[in-house]
Chain A
Amino acid sequence: DTAVSQTPKYLVTQMGNDKSIKCEQNLGHDTMYWYKQDSKKFLKIMFSYNNKELIINETVPNRFSPKSPDKAHLNLHINSLELGDSAVYFCASSLSGDQPQHFGDGTRLSIL
């Protein structure tokens, strides 16, 4: 029943590793997003995909790469993890770019 689901919920790993976070939505939405929430609760857009095309690419390090195998999935791959990558990452989706966004429960990434 979950509309936007992310896995894993928690991810603890060491600096330098490569990891992926998966996101799936069953709402039939056309646009999906990734946000980063820092330790002060500030949320900032990282990427969005519309029909498998990247339409927003904010100034995030190229160690972060979104991958969308189909319209219902937008995974986030991170290479060479750094301490500053520790944050909560939220996936979201919307019917189109001007419709309200529905959020997943977040993935808490901790870098040791």
Chain B
Amino acid sequence: AQSVTQLDSHVSVSEGTPVLLRCNYSSSYSPSLFWYVQHPNKGLQLLLKYTSAATLVKGINGFEAEFKKSETSFHLTKPSAHMSDAAEYFCVVRQYGGSQGNLIFGKGTKLSVKP
């Protein structure tokens, strides 16, 4: 069975400083991993995806994530936080087997950005 664990429920950074949102995954197969962002009262927007190509994945808005099989991690980073980055971030793994396409969500990390 596949699962993801987001290690921090809340991360607070100052504007202009780096962002690190941590995610560990568990999968019996080569996983498909995603990061989605949810701004207040909005739906989810895909930031980036990993599907067994390059291990360093670049996404929108300056975010990137690195797939590390040895550490079973897929942490999300950004060099310099912007106020507009404040949102809820979800690490997601795609389920294989009978429910092909089913997305399994982590519990989310709320990112706060201080001026």
Contact = CB atoms under 8 A, between A and B. Distances in A.
A11 to B, nearest CB: 14
A101 interface: yes
B102 A102 contact: no
Given A42-B107, A56-B101, A100 B46 contact: yes
A98 B45 contact: no
B100 A98 contact: yes
Interface stretch (A13-21, A43-51, A64-72, A74-82): A43-51
Contacts of A40: 107
Contacts of A44: 105
A43 B107 CA distance: 8
Contacts of B49: 100
Contact of A106 (B43, B45, B102): B43
Nearest to A9: B41
Interface of A: 4, 31, 40-45, 48, 55-56, 58, 90, 92, 94, 96-98, 100-106
Given A98-B101, A100-B46, 7 more contacts: A4-B43, A44-B105, A48-B102, A58-B99, A90-B43, A92-B44, A98-B32
